Structure 1
Amino acid sequence: MTSGIPDEYFVRGNIPMTKEEIRVLSISKLRLKEDSTIWDIGAGTGSVSVEAALAAKKGVVYSIEKEKEGIKLISENIKKFNVNNIVVVNGIAPDVLMDLPSPDRVFIGGTGDKMHHIFDIVTSKLKEKGIVVINGITLDTAYYANHYFKQKNYDVQTICVNVSVSREAGQKTMMVSQNPVYIISAKRE
């Protein structure tokens, strides 16, 4: 299976999911290795966890989600894609992070109102030359993540992705834009 699993292949519910095009770019920014230890914070349906697990076949993905529906969806997607290197962690970040093994890579898809505390724990546990990728839909998230990681002397890059997807409109095809997403990648030197 290649990266960029179509969204409709995932079992979905009312939990947010990182869409295919954003997921592909975010995972590419993680620069995964075959044996990476990965945290997926705010895992939602587990779409990033599944794709990361497929890329890091000899690694482990810790899929962290607080919502019961999300935990159920992650478990269903693990079965559907037959990946056995995902550990589902039911709990609230940052509370559950301290007991996890130190990661090489961290994907943050959601922080609620605990961004600062999550960033503090991530930076305290991230291995040398580790990479953190944060997805945000607000300017506030992009600004705060940039500022935070630059203050910690990480190499930081931000991209803003605007994706439009085609949709039939009678006899014609129109483009429907999705929300812009900021993808912030921060590498520990």
Structure 2
Amino acid sequence: MWIKDEYFVRGDVPMTKFEARVISLAYLDICNKDVLLDIGAGTGSISIQAAILGASVFAIDRDDEAVKLLKKNKEKFNVDIEIIKGNAEDYIESLNFTKCFIGGSGGNLLKIINLIDKNPNNKIVVANFIKVENLSLFIKTFRELKYDLEVRMLSISKIENDLLKANNPIFIARATRGR
């Protein structure tokens, strides 16, 4: 079951939209035995969908409103997600996860990447970016760490009331620990 955007409880917190969510989760290759760390979880759209796909999930966000929305969406979809309020860099080393999604980094992307790399069980990191400088930092850092990289730009437009309505383009980056 893939959840449409309109079913999530929403607020002023950013949410990974349906098309980006589907592609990001496909790149994460979520399965039943995975433990996903969702950094900058926002409304929880990635966390909830990953839990429905069978993963155990840690959802971290530092924003009070985001944590409230995460809790509401967790209850609405009746999924088991561990919600952590705080800065991801304070928790990453204490969590055991196999895959990681970065939806937001609070300006600490480099530190977060280096902490993720210390986890020997983590196999795949997927991140969404709207800023090219953050994408560049992701690519540069994971190249230096010898990960395999894939990057796509997603640009989606919808027809509403006979008008083409474009969403902002989003970069979806995937780093896979070298084999």
- For this structure pair, what is the TM-score category when the shorter chain's length is used for normalisation? over 0.9
Q: Which runs of 5+ in 1 are unaligned?
A: none
Q: Which runs of 5+ in 2 are unaligned?
A: none
Q: Which whole-Å CA distance do the structure 1 matches of 2:44 and 2:22 have between them? A: 14
Scaled by the length of structure 1, the TM-score of the pair is: 0.91
Deviations 1:109-160 (A, max 9, x none): 00121011000101111516x1000100011111111111111111100000
Deviations 1:83-115 (A, max 9, x none): 12x1001111211222222x1110000012101
Deviations 1:146-175 (A, max 9, x none): 11111111110000000111110xxxx121
Residue 50 of structure 1: aligned partner: 48
Residue 123 of structure 1: aligned partner: 117
Q: Which whole-Å CA distance do the structure 1 matches of 2:95 and 2:84 have between them? A: 9
Residue 88 of structure 1: aligned partner: 83
Tell me the percent identity: 35
**Of 58, 62, 68, the match for 1:66:** 62
Map 1:173-184 → 2, pairs under 5 A? 173-184=162-173
Scaled by the length of structure 2, the TM-score of the pair is: 0.96
Larger Rg: 1
- Which AA in structure 2 matches 1:184? A
> Are 1:37 and 2:32 an aligned pair?
no
Greater helix content:
2
Aligned residues: 178
RMSD of aligned C-alpha atoms?
1.0
**Of 106, 114, 118, the match for 1:112:** 106
> Which structure 1 residue ranges, 4+ long, deviate > 4 Å from structure 2?
none
Deviations 1:16-70 (A, max 9, x none): 11111111111110011211011000000001000000112xx410000111111
